[in-house]
Amino acid sequence: MVACLAWGKGVAVSNSAGAALWRLASFEPGPVQLTVPRNRRRQGPGRIHRRLLAPVEVSTVDVFPVTTSARTLLDIAATAPRDAVEEALDDALRRRLVTIPRMRWHLARWERSRLPGLIALRNLVGARDAATTPPQSVFETRLLRLLRRKGLPTPICQHPVRVDGRRFVLDFAYPELMLAIEADGRRWHSSRLSWERDRARLNELMLLGWRIVHVTWSDLTTGPEAVVDAVQRAVES
């Protein structure tokens, strides 16, 4: 707030500081970064980016002026690792801070400006389908990224299945193969009770012929090649 007041009207928290203010995945609070009008002569604290923001690119979070989530994604795409930007994008999509159609609209607006980060963000948005549900956690985003990078077919995220009138949702699925992949771990569930319900749900699906590959956070972080091998063998069989 001190930095915003020091620079005056027309400034906005931006870049990685904006991502942290939006609480986007993979971005933690750090040094203050502000976007200020190019002609602003006064001085103030923070890392400064001088550019003109359109009114549609500025919002408010917790009383702070901040670049919109869409503009923030563009700015971090210019400097942050691709994986971190991807996790932030999926986080923004599942929280409905942005939508794929809205991101495409912004990308079209920015096309002629050749802003840094534009190509990287366009590629990430282009790999996502507006009709599909985004991964529901950083865990799921990283698992999906691993499968894609290893050349495995892209599974459907959040695939619904009905059993005796009840609707179940699988983390990832290859419906034509009756094969599901579950990002398995209680840290990603709201409670032990919900975790136990998930186990019962998966048992019912297995009785219907679904094959299920379970992947834990530990599997993903310490043995990614084993995860890929398990999914590959399940697909081939």
pLDDT in tens, 3-54: 877 778 889 999 999 999 999 999 999 999 999 988 877 677 778 999 989 9
- How many domains in the chain? 2
Q: Is 156 exposed, middle or buried (0-12, 13-18, 19+ CB in 10 A)?
A: middle
Quote the pLDDT of residue 189. Answer: 47
Least confident among 31-40, 70-79, 87-96: 31-40
- Of 106, 126, 146, which one is at a domain's C-terminal end? 126
Mean per-residue pLDDT, 72-77: 98
Note whether 6 and 119 are same-domain residues: yes
Least confident among 18-32, 36-50, 66-80, 142-156: 36-50
Note whether 105 and 214 are same-domain residues: no
Mean per-residue pLDDT, 124-152: 93
Mean per-residue pLDDT, 144-150: 95
Note whether 144 and 121 are same-domain residues: no
Share of the chain above pLDDT 70, in %: 93
Quote the pLDDT of residue 153. Answer: 93
- Of 97, 126, 155, which one is at a domain's C-terminal end? 126
**184 is written with which tokens?**
């398995």
Quote the pLDDT of residue 152. Answer: 96
Decide if 121 contacts 74 (C-beta within 8 A): yes
Note whether 14 and 111 are same-domain residues: yes
* Residues of the domain holding 209: 138-236
The pTM is what?
0.87
Mean per-residue pLDDT, 135-155: 95
